[in-house]
Structure 1
Amino acid sequence: MKKIKVLIVLLLSCLFIIGCANQRILERIGLVTLVGYDVAEENKVTATSVIRQINPELQSKVEVQSETESTSKGTRVKVDMKTSKKLAAGQMRVLLFGEDLAKKGIEEAIHTTMMNNEISTSIYLAVVKGSSKSLLEYPYKDVTDVGQHIYNLIDHNIKQQHTVSSTLHEVVRDNYSEVRNFALPILHKKGEFIEIDGVAFFSHGKMVGSLPAGDNFYILMMQDNFKESTLELVLDGESIDASKFQEKQLQIAVDSVKTKRSIKVVDPELNEFDLNIDFKCRLLEINSLVPINDPKLVEKMEKAVNQKIENEVSRILEYSQEINSDIYGFGEQYRAHVRGGKLTDQKWREKFREMKVNINVDVEIIRNGVFE
């Protein structure tokens, strides 16, 4: 009998809680799925929102609304005045920043987004080449929902490890770190298509530089371990005796089977580091005349790929030091190694710019395709 009474009390409690919940009927709200911010005149900001409206027949339509105000909240109020439904940000997937705003600084926008308990920390952040307003308002022929399309584009390429990961959680973590910076993908509209065009480097919330999409592979290789991605290389024919099959340059494509990266502090006093990269890959494409079953030739190819990667990694690292943006974690390793010493943001910025890095790449071609 006591068990039955307890069960009745629990059921009544559940009904009471459900009855008190803040109900949101889908047909009465507009779902904001993407927001883009741009710099406007007089220190104002232009916010462009992609809104999905659901009608009683559960059919949806997408509209793009743009407003300018002094704050992002002000723009939301203005957009609210133009819609017949209450706006909800719970389904927001992407936050975009126009290039001019990114260079001016996005810390306030990140802080405001982080404070909104409706918005998930798993949303993606990205920079738009030009303005986000023009990217979102363009009438694409084959895109019915530009918000969902951009989310799928970013999500797919991050999961395939073709570009840097840029969730709100990761960006906030790195932005508030004294020894690490963050990077965001760059989107660009080319004709009827939107594509990932490069990587934007940030320092103190401001975009301080960028590199093209072709450098994504090397940037990811320097940031962490990864297992997927494809790399196209042009090797010097002399380095592998390509003259035997009448090639001055040899174009190849490899994919990563397993890549392991480690950063070690060699000497904290001399500000010296080792960057070690073990790259196990599979040969996907090569001139059919090349005898890939020859172990000596494969060894020469490994050395040539090794040298190519070292040169590219060195170039990108030098650029990162010039713009003073550590997106790789050298500062974290230094702070973990030098215990008891307080490493401030200013101290690490000075050390990062002047640090010496010994780049050691070890390439191994472990399979030559399905015919081996």
Structure 2
Amino acid sequence: MRRHNIIWVITICLLLTGCLEKEIVDDINIEQVEGFDLIGENEVEGTFVVPVYKADQSIENEIFTAISLLNKDILRNAQKESSAPIVNGSLELVLFNKALAEKGVIQVVDGLQRDASIGTGLYLAIVEGDTKDLLQQNLGTRGTGDHLYNLLKHNINRRDVPKTNLHIFLSDYYQKGKDPNLPILKKTEKSAEIVGAAVMKEDKFEMTIPNEKLFYFKTLVDKHADGTVSLKVKDKEEFVSIRSIKTDRKFRVKWKDDIPSIRVIVSVDGAVREFTGNKVTPKELKEFQKVFEEKIIKESESMIKEFQEKGVDPIGLGYQAKSRKRGFDYKKWKDATYPTLTVQVEAKVRLISTGITE
């Protein structure tokens, strides 16, 4: 009897394997990056980049484009240009031009999250100018898509760009009391570069954090692993470069008479990377720490005030307040409380190394 059951199980498994859709790699076009440009009131142009591997081991990009109304299946229209099916199982990056980001990107992102073949680690970014112009370049030695993906990955993991991907974007978008942020790319003469981060109001582009403020922005919304900042020493024509080894932030929320006050505590462990003066003494090291703490507080509080004026909350202060209050009224928070909220930033800097100057 048991042997009879085993035979039936094996037979069923063999039948089920015949139901799977098979795709041969040589017979499909595997895209790496997509770009979407708003080209009218409601029309969107999609650009799809497929790497083509040559016999001499070089890589060229094959570009497919299509135009459709917002919310429509642009990729389906692009298939009409392709001699083989375009599949997005290896999609690593999706780009939006600024005009589309100002109108809202959730309708495109929603289509991405419903595709089971796309991973939630997919990067999203905004492009100054048209994504089509950027993607038509041949970048890097492993294809344009791979080059742009690694450009973002490197700057997220080891520099000042806050961590973001499809999963994080959707989490911030659906979370009451927090707004998403996305990196901003720009086409250069021969390549591409990161020029800042975009703060979104829900799914719409609202404001830009320029490169010179990205370090301080990341300390508020994420954790650094290897960021670098340069500071001018007070009353001296000397500069010090500090490499961030580790940063962290904590929130202290107090409610009084239904009015909250929030304190953000930023902790930084860093090392002196370069100093234009002489040997770093213990006295100068303390001065560096004080200057750095003052700079963090000044830049952070200035950004927070601008966030309040714009009505955006990339730090998640609303979420922090909500998690510490029963019967939290989000509409009241958004309309009345958040714009006038008292937020104090406290910085704790510890310079644990002075490198070869020690």
TM-score (norm 2): 0.91
Aligned to 1:337, the other structure's residue is in SS state: coil
What is the aligned counterpart of 2:244 among 256, 260, 271?
256
1:152 is aligned to 150
Q: SS of 2:224's equivalent?
A: coil
**Correspondence for 2:111:** 112
2:334: which partner in 1?
A: 348
1:272 equivalenced with 2:261 (yes/no): yes
Aligned to 1:231: 229
Q: Distance in 1 between matches of 2:191 and 2:53?
A: 27
Q: How far is 1:161 from its partner?
A: 3.9
When residues 337 and 282 of structure 1 are mapped into structure 2, their CA distance, relative to the original with a 3 A threshold, is same
Separation (CA, whole Å) in 2 of partners of 1:208 and 1:228: 28
Q: Distance in 1 between matches of 2:277 and 2:202?
A: 50
User: Partner residue of 1:335?
Assistant: 322
Q: Determine the C-alpha separation between the residues in 2 that align with 1:75 and 1:308.
A: 47
- The alignment partner of 1:119 has SS state of coil
Contact 1:31 1:53 in 2 (8 A): no
Q: Check conservation: 2:64, 2:82, Cα contact below 8 A.
A: no
SS at 1:201's partner residue?
A: strand
Identity across matched positions, percent: 25
> Helix, strand or coil for the counterpart of 1:192?
coil
1:39 offset after TM fit, Å?
Answer: 0.7
- Per the alignment, residue 62 of structure 1 pairs with 61
1:179 is paired with a residue of what secondary structure?
coil
- Aligned partners of 2:176 and 2:319 also within 8 Å: no
1:50 paired residue number: 49
Give the aligned partner of residue 133 of structure 2. Answer: 134
CA distance in 2, matches of 1:5, 1:370: 76
**Gap change, CA 1:297 and 1:371, over 3 Å in 2:** closer
Whole-angstrom distance in 2 between the partners of 1:8 and 1:228: 58
Match of 2:250, SS? strand
**Greater alpha carbon shift after TM alignment, 4-13 vs 156-165:** 4-13
Q: Which runs of 5+ in 1 are unaligned?
A: 239-247
| Farther off after superposition, 227-236 or 280-289 | 227-236
1:338 is displaced (CA, Å) by: 0.9
Matches within 5 A, 1:289-300: 289=278, 291-292=279-280, 294-300=281-287
Q: Does the 8 Å CA contact 2:134/2:187 hold for their aligned counterparts?
A: yes
Q: Is the 8 A contact 2:301 2:344 kept in 1?
A: no
Give yes or no for contact 2:231–2:239 (8 Å, CA) kept in 1. yes
SS in 2 for 1:208: strand
Instruction: Give the Cα–Cα distance (whole angstroms) in 1 for the partners of residues 75 and 305 of structure 2.
Output: 42
- Structure 2 CA distance for aligned equivalents of residues 41 and 341 of structure 1: 41
Change (3 A) 1:266 1:250: farther
Match of 1:243 in 2: none
Q: The residue matched to 1:231 in structure 2 has which SS?
A: strand
- Report the number of matched residues: 357
Give the match's secondary structure for 1:118.
coil
Residues 1:86 and 2:85 aligned together: yes
Instruction: Write the letter of the residue equivalent to 1:145.
Output: G
Task: Tell me the CA shift for residue 363 of structure 1.
Answer: 1.3
Letter in 2 for 1:260: D
The answer to whether the 8 Å contact 2:158/2:224 transfers is no
Where do residues 4-43 of structure 1 align in structure 2 (5 Å cutoff)? 11-43=10-42
Instruction: Decide whether aligned partners of structure 1 residues 54 and 272 sit closer, same or farther in structure 2, where only a CA change above 3 A counts.
Output: same
Task: Write out per-residue CA displacement over residues 307-354 of structure 1, whole angstroms, 9 at most, x where no aligned residue.
Answer: 12211112222222222211112111100111133424x633532221
**8 A Cα contact 1:44 1:70, kept in partner:** yes
Match of 1:315 in 2: 302
Residues 80 and 86 of structure 1 are in contact (CA less than 8 Å); yes or no, is this contact kept in structure 2?
Answer: yes
Shift of 1:61: 4.6
Distance 2:285 2:142 in 1: 48
Q: Is the 2:163–2:222 Cα contact (8 Å) retained in structure 1?
A: no
3-state SS, counterpart of residue 31 of structure 2 = strand
What does residue range 194-213 of structure 1 map to in structure 2 within 5 Å? 194-213=192-211
1:309 counterpart SS class? helix
Deviation sequence 1:198-248 (CA, Å, 0-9, x none): 000101211010011221111111113433211122222x2xxxxxxxxx3
Post-superposition shift, 1:5?
6.4
**What secondary structure is seen at the aligned counterpart in 2 of 1:20?**
coil
3-state SS of the aligned residue for 1:85?
Answer: coil
The DSSP-based 3-state class of the residue aligned with 1:80 is: helix
Q: Secondary structure at the match of 2:32?
A: strand
Matching of residue 362 in structure 1 with residue 351 in structure 2: no
Residue from 267, 270, 273 that aligns with 1:284 = 273
Q: Residue type matched to 1:173 in 2?
A: S
8 Å contact kept, 1:36–1:96: yes
1:62 is displaced (CA, Å) by 2.5
Q: Residues 60 and 21 of structure 1: is their aligned pair in 2 closer, same or farther, counting only changes over 3 Å? A: farther
1:347 & 1:125 partners in 2: Cα distance?
Answer: 29
**How far apart are the structure 2 equivalents of 1:92 and 1:14?**
31
